[in-house]
Amino acid sequence: MIQVAVMGYGVVGSGVVEVLTQHTDSIAKRAKETINIKYILDIREFPDSPFVDKFTKNFDDIVNDEEVRVVAEVMGGVHPAYEFTKQCLLKGKSVVTSNKELVATKGAELLEIARQNNANYLFEASVGGGIPIIRPMSQCLAANEVIEVAGILNGTTNFILTKMIRENMSFDDALKMAQRLGYAERNPAADVEGHDACRKICILASLAYGKHVYPEYVHTAGITNMTLEDVAYAASWGGVIKLIGQVKRLEDGKLDITVEPMLIARDSQLASVDDVFNGILVRGDATGDVVFYGKGAGKLPTASAVVADIIDCVKHLKARKYLYWNDGGEEIVKPYAETSYPIYMRVSSTLDKQTVIEKVASLFRNSRSIVRTNAPENEFAFVTDSMVVNRQEEAIAALEQDKIHVLSKIRIADL
Amino acid sequence: MIQVAVMGYGVVGSGVVEVLTQHTDSIAKRAKETINIKYILDIREFPDSPFVDKFTKNFDDIVNDEEVRVVAEVMGGVHPAYEFTKQCLLKGKSVVTSNKELVATKGAELLEIARQNNANYLFEASVGGGIPIIRPMSQCLAANEVIEVAGILNGTTNFILTKMIRENMSFDDALKMAQRLGYAERNPAADVEGHDACRKICILASLAYGKHVYPEYVHTAGITNMTLEDVAYAASWGGVIKLIGQVKRLEDGKLDITVEPMLIARDSQLASVDDVFNGILVRGDATGDVVFYGKGAGKLPTASAVVADIIDCVKHLKARKYLYWNDGGEEIVKPYAETSYPIYMRVSSTLDKQTVIEKVASLFRNSRSIVRTNAPENEFAFVTDSMVVNRQEEAIAALEQDKIHVLSKIRIADL
């Protein structure tokens, strides 16, 4: 029998306890050991819980108990999750987590500590909830060079965008609905401003390219400025707007990594990923495009991914799993201003249509007008060829000088 | 350095050699060992190959060489692949394969021999080509009970159906195009009659439910009778026709497993899996729906999956991977005639419309008419509620008695 501890009894933590206690037999069969929860760490009281005798408020109970071999850290946040994880790993206990913030900010250090102490640090649940992605990427795609990873990594924003696209709901109304349904938190900033998606693409990038990519070096834009006008133009162009986290290695070896709304063509596999679902595309040099799709959050999907990692740790108590990346710095990331991509752009101007089209054409190569029904007379929209971000900004400044006001600018994805 | 052998130098085998020799360094990093190809087994001569000195026609060279630890069997077919695999496993060599026919017909026996000899028998490449599915199902979904697995498992038939749906091409023309493009073989029976998809769903079913499901117990229908009329009715119903392999466990513990064309609703994630792509949906009790998408065949995708298995074997030379199922018999499969599902049905009759509608309604619960443009006057189509197959057949016989001739009947999927 293997003793484990669960740190944090929130949504995911209670799900982990539920899955472990309700599937005990089938899990024992797969792990080849019975798994028993010895401790549940939480600062709150749960007097009515059937697991009341397992609760502790004292982390030392867990870290000093040599019987505990695997710890599930499902507390969220960096502190004290970081300190607790570190101490467990230093004692040779394996740690599994759903804590994307911790993995994205301290992953390289914790993986190194795990390595030195012959323990495992696994985090399948940190990206894509119940969708298997970390393990397939590190194992099944082992014989591939990863050309690109791109994904719809945040269910809350995808739900909001889906409501805007399908039901013509405004951003504010869609956000309120997401909050009412429990898909968005009272303070939705981490989701709608793209930070959650940023942590996830950082984890996937670190895994794919072997060096830690820290969130602070990643250009991150959310969906708070999305309008129904842009949604309508996207449709007339033949696509949809999605919040995409994307990373690819450029020819100079640096990473083009970003989180931002993008226009994606309707026939892309990611275009049909709607509502709270996530979809992650991994483009390998040998496999071509592989897409993983499913619910990216939720109590049981996430908990089942945490439990799968616990099982894997139990099966590998002596051997280490090969899941590792080195530390990385700002130098591995291409500055956003130097990256280039095609854009969609919506402008307003009191100038006549032909003049606007000509001025835009003089600044943006191969710009093409797109239209929507019921557009005001002074509104125009364009899609243009690929251009370096710096140059885009200069051209936009020049347009403003010419009394053409740029209302929105959205990257066009190559997915 | 670990010595491996590749048995079979056809499309996949030459791809395996290509991936292993071109990615030597990155593979060594992941496997923590350099992997060297010591033998390539093929009965043909390759005098101009850069690997000419590795070729042998004598299997004994491989099986008797104690240095060879891992063998990739990429010959295809049951014999002599079965005998060769067995002998390798009996000597404690791990075997990896893309040979779905062998796994589907002899998997339980070979897995048991592997277990007894502390070796691994891995077959990620046998289903879905380069799409990771075997490993995610056995590991990442370890904490789930699998409710259902359903997939578009054969790229050739999916290409043909896509051409019929999108371009109104006839089955014969689409098949000829697939042959011209190299997607279908000269003798396309294994693909178009559903046998290839059947082997794959048998492998997934065995993995999901722990008992070997043999192809001979699985109802298997192909797409050779698909018509453009049915494609048109499917569109008017709001869906598409796909060749689906599906398995789910019924309340009595038996498996409802089948391969047949099905109508799937347009908003299903499988509906947008087009051309030669495969899509596999795994419905878990905790994760909900997870879908894996990618190219299901092709030299490099398949080869990269084989190589990933080689890497995994090298990392687990001492430990065994937990990939196992017990033998199974006919008794684990629900007889097809006793399964039930809703259907789409197209009929012709010289009777008047109202009479046909009433007769169909008297035999099929909740039958609803569907229409298509340019249908001949004597053609009618219906969708109906779920009904046991036996009863469907009786009702169809009764319709024939009443001069209503059933031209086609297609299962409606619940995906």
Q: Do B287 and A294 touch (CB under 8 A)?
A: yes
Which residue, among B25, B162, B287, would best test binding to A if mutated, counting the most A CBs under 10 Å from its CB?
A: B287
How does residue B407 score in pLDDT terms, banded at 50, 70 and 90?
A: very high
Show residues of chain B in contact with A286, CB under 8 Å: 19, 130, 300-301, 303-304
Minimal Cβ distance to A289: which of B26, B124, B294? B294
Task: Inform me whether the pLDDT recorded for A320 exceeds 80.
Answer: no
Task: Tell me which amino acid residue B217 is.
Answer: Y
Task: Tell me which amino acid residue B62 is.
Answer: I
**pLDDT tens track for A367-410:** 999 999 999 999 999 999 999 999 999 999 999 999 999 999 99
Q: A93, A200, A248, A334: which one is catalytic?
A: A200
Which residue, among B98, B137, B291, B317, would best test binding to A if mutated, counting the most A CBs under 10 Å from its CB?
A: B291
Show residues of chain B in contact with A304, CB under 8 Å: 141, 143-144, 284, 286-287
Residue of A nearest to B310 (CA): A143
Residue of A nearest to B141 (CA): A308
Predicted local confidence at residue A26, as pLDDT: 87
Stated pTM of the model: 0.93
How does residue A178 score in pLDDT terms, banded at 50, 70 and 90?
A: very high
- Which residues of B are the active-site residues? 200
Query: Can you give the three-state secondary structure of chain A, one letter per residue?
Result: CEEEEEECCCHHHHHHHHHHHHCHHHHHHHHCCCEEEEEEECCCCCCCCCCHHHEECCHHHHHCCCCEEEEEECCCCCCCHHHHHHHHHHCCCEEEECCHHHHHHHHHHHHHHHHHCCCCEECHHHCCCCCCCHHHHHHHCCCCCEEEEEEECCHHHHHHHHHHHHHCCCHHHHHHHHHHCCCCCCCCHHHHCCHHHHHHHHHHHHHHHCECCCHHHCEECCCCCCCHHHHHHHHHHCEEEEEEEEEEECCCCCEEEEEEEEEEECCCCCCCCCCCEEEEEEEECCCEEEEEEEECCCHHHHHHHHHHHHHHHHHCCCCCCCCCCECCCHHHECCHHHCEECEEEEEEECCCHHHHHHHHHHHCCCCEEECCCCCCCCEEEEECCCEEHHHHHHHHHHHHHCCEEEEEEEEECCC
Region A285-310 average pLDDT: 92
Ranking A13-17, A86-90, A321-325, B60-64 by mean pLDDT, the lowest is A321-325
Residue of A nearest to B321 (CA): A315
Q: How far is B410 from chain A (nearest CA, A)?
A: 26
Q: Do A295 and B287 touch (CB under 8 A)?
A: yes
Task: Inform me whether the pLDDT recorded for A267 exceeds 90.
Answer: no
Residue of B nearest to A273 (CA): B269
Predicted local confidence at residue B298, as pLDDT: 87
Minimal Cβ distance to B293: which of A129, A290, A312? A290
Minimal Cβ distance to A143: which of B294, B295, B311? B311
Predicted local confidence at residue A148, as pLDDT: 96
- Cβ-based neighbours of B377, under 8 Å, separated by 6 or more: none
Task: Inform me whether the pLDDT recorded for A6 exceeds 90.
Answer: yes
Show residues of chain B in contact with A31, CB under 8 Å: 142
Predicted local confidence at residue B30, as pLDDT: 86
Q: Do B143 and A305 touch (CB under 8 A)?
A: yes
Minimal Cβ distance to A124: which of B140, B145, B288? B140
Q: Do B26 and A145 touch (CB under 8 A)?
A: yes
User: B403 and B350 in contact (C-beta within 8 Å)?
Assistant: yes
Region A59-83 average pLDDT: 97
Residue of B nearest to A301 (CA): B287
User: B269 and B289 in contact (C-beta within 8 Å)?
Assistant: yes
Predicted local confidence at residue B21, as pLDDT: 95
User: So what's the ipTM on this one?
Assistant: 0.90
Residue A11: name the closest of A311, A310, A309, A297 by CA: A297
Handedness of CA A12, A17, A23, A24 (dihedral sign): positive
Size of interface A-B (CB pairs under 8 A): 165
Query: Which 3 state secondary structure label does DSSP give B80?
Result: coil
Minimal Cβ distance to B141: which of A132, A286, A293? A132
Show residues of chain B in contact with A125, CB under 8 Å: none
Q: Do A301 and B322 touch (CB under 8 A)?
A: no
Predicted local confidence at residue B319, as pLDDT: 74
Minimal Cβ distance to B142: which of A30, A143, A303? A30
Residue A201: name the closest of A268, A272, A126, A97 by CA: A126
Mean per-residue pLDDT over chain A, rounded: 95
Predicted local confidence at residue B257, as pLDDT: 98
Residue A154: name the closest of A222, A205, A240, A219 by CA: A222
Q: Give strand pairing partners of B411.
A: B262, B343
Region B80-94 average pLDDT: 98
Task: Inform me whether the pLDDT recorded for B64 exceeds 90.
Answer: yes
A334 in active site: no
Which residue, among B23, B24, B249, B304, would best test binding to A if mutated, counting the most A CBs under 10 Å from its CB?
A: B304
Looking up tokens 């390289």 gives A108
Q: Do A130 and B23 touch (CB under 8 A)?
A: no
- Return left, alpha or beta for B380; rule: phi > 0 is left, psi -120 to 50 is alpha, else beta: beta
Residue of B nearest to A136 (CA): B132
